[in-house]
Amino acid sequence: MKLSKSEEKLMELIWSNQPIFMKELLEIIPVPKPAPSTVATLLKRMQQKGYVGFKLYGNSRQYHALVEKPEYFSGQVKTIIKDFFSNSPLQFASFFTKKADLTTEELKELKGLVEMEIKRRKE
């Protein structure tokens, strides 16, 4: 199940600062800050979706991610490839290299990454 944009922003803060208590989370949320009840609702939805867990310390909850950022990002990329590129990673790569305004140096780095992955898979 996908996170909403508000949930993704909150998840970014959790990934960067975990484990984190609600009070700490409320302090680092950028302005304009949502109401604490809104944050609590978002956290509850994120728990129900299986992205966030918590440990109870008295009346306080310390939150942590149940899904790591690379895993979530990978799922998002797969969804984009499926929905916008007919489930073709090659079409996605072609679009990305032509439309992402990469410099020649960045394209060379990308080529090097692809070559390293090809080499790794041959081993």
pLDDT tens digits along 21-30: 999 999 999 9
Task: Give the pair of three-digit tokens for residue 114.
Answer: 């692809």
Q: Three-state DSSP class for 64?
A: strand
pLDDT tens column, 54-72? 999 999 999 999 999 999 9
Q: Span 87-98, mean pLDDT?
A: 91
CA–CA dist 28, 55 (Å, integer): 20
**Burial bucket for residue 46 (CB in 10 Å: 0-12, 13-18, 19+):** buried
* pLDDT mean across residues, the chain: 94
Q: Span 105-121, mean pLDDT?
A: 93
CA–CA dist 36, 22 (Å, integer): 9
Residue 119 — very low, low, confident or very high, per pLDDT cuts 50/70/90? very high
For 35, how many CA atoms within 13 A lie in the half-sphere containing its CB? 3
